[in-house]
Amino acid sequence: MDFRIADTFSDSLGRLTGAEQKAVKTTAFDLQLDPTGRGLHFHRLDRARDTNFWSVRVNADVRLIVHRTATSVLLCYVGHHDAAYSWAERRRIERHPTTGAAQLVELPERVEHQDAISIPQATPATSPERLFASISDDMLLAYGVPTEWLGAVRRATEDTLFDIADHLPQEAAEALLSLATGGTPAIPVPAPATADPFSHPDAQRRFRVLTNVEELERALDFPWEKWAVFLHPAQRQLVERSYAGPARVSGSAGTGKTIVALHHAVALARRHPEARVLLTTLLQGPGERAQNAAAISDRQ
C-alpha cells in the first residue's frame, strides 16, 4: 500500500501550534507504520463529495484528513475539527480526464460561498473582456483545467483571473496566467489511460510517496520547505543540467524560477566543493532572506 503526503498537508501542519504539530506527527507515524489504521480512530466523512475522504482523530479537537483507497493512504490536510471537515467537504481527488494527472480539486460551487473569496461580478455597464472566451474547452482541459472549473475560467476577466487561479491546480493556473499575458504555454502530453495518475509529472508537484519513516519525518519537520519536497520533474531537469555558459530560464510569476535558481546553486556547490557560488535575486524582506539562506546552508 502506497503512503503519500500532499503539499496541502504540509501547508496546514505549519499553521498549528508546536504541541499540536507534535501530536499530529505521532499519529502520522503510526498511520505510516500501519496504513490499515488499526488502533486509530477513523471516521468516514458523510458530507464529503469524495467518498474516500476520512478523518483520523489526533486529539480532542485536531483531525487528519486522509484519502484512503484499497491501494493507498494519502495525508491531505490537518486542522481543528470543524475546519478540517469543511476543507474536505469542498474538495475531491480525481484523475484529470485529459492530462491523466491526479488532482486535488477545490469545488467551485462550494468555493463561491466562502467568506475568504469574493469574485467580482461584471455589470452590464462595464462588461470587461473575458480573457479565454475564444479558447475551446478541449484546449483548457489540455492545460489541466478541471472540468468543474471550465465555466468559471471561460468567464474570467482581468479582475477575476487571480481569484480563480488561486484555487486551480498549479499547472492549470500557470497556463492561464501565461495565456493571459500573451504567452503560448506548451500543451502537456496526456498520460496513457493505464498509467498511474499519481506518477504524472504534474501530480508529483503536489503528492509524494514516502517509503520510510525518515522521509516522512523530513517532510513533516520542514513544512515551509514544500518546494524542497515537491520539486517538479521539469524543474529538476533544469537544476541538474550542466551549462557551458550563461543560461536563461523564463516563466510567468509563480512558476518556480527562484526555486530552480536555489536548487541549481546548491547543485553547483556540491559539484564543485572548492568553488564559491554567488546567488543574487530581487530585494527581499528579512524573513525571506533568512529563509532562503537557511535552505541553502542546510543543503550544503
| 90-110 residue pLDDT tens | 999 999 999 999 999 999 864
Top-confidence residue, 209 or 292: 209
Dihedral over alpha carbons 288, 117, 162, 292 (to 10 degrees): 10
As beta bridge partners, residue 5 has 75, 208
Model pLDDT, residue 208: 87
Q: How sure is the predictor about 57, in pLDDT bands with cuts at 50, 70 and 90?
A: very high
Model pLDDT, residue 167: 93
Sequence-distant (6+) residues with CB within 8 A of 300 are 266, 269, 270
> In this structure, what C-alpha cell is assigned to residue 157?
476577466
Q: pLDDT at residue 297 above 50?
A: no
- The tens digit of pLDDT for each residue in 194-234 reads 999 999 989 988 898 888 777 787 777 764 444 445 566 67
> In this structure, what C-alpha cell is assigned to residue 17?
501550534
**How would you classify the pairing of strands 62-68 and 53-57?**
antiparallel
Q: How sure is the predictor about 115, in pLDDT bands with cuts at 50, 70 and 90?
A: very low
- The tens digit of pLDDT for each residue in 30-39 reads 998 887 777 7
Average pLDDT, rounded, for the chain:
83
Q: What is the pTM of this model?
A: 0.71
- The tens digit of pLDDT for each residue in 9-43 reads 988 998 999 999 999 999 999 998 887 777 788 89
Model pLDDT, residue 65: 97
Q: What is the CATH number of domain 2-93+192-229?
A: 3.30.2310.20
Which of 50-59, 116-125, 252-261, 276-285 has the lowest average pLDDT?
116-125
Q: Where are the domains of the chain?
A: 2-93+192-229, 102-180, 233-299
| Residue range 139-152: mean pLDDT, rounded | 95
Top-confidence residue, 73 or 125: 73
Sequence-distant (6+) residues with CB within 8 A of 108 are 148, 149, 151, 152, 167
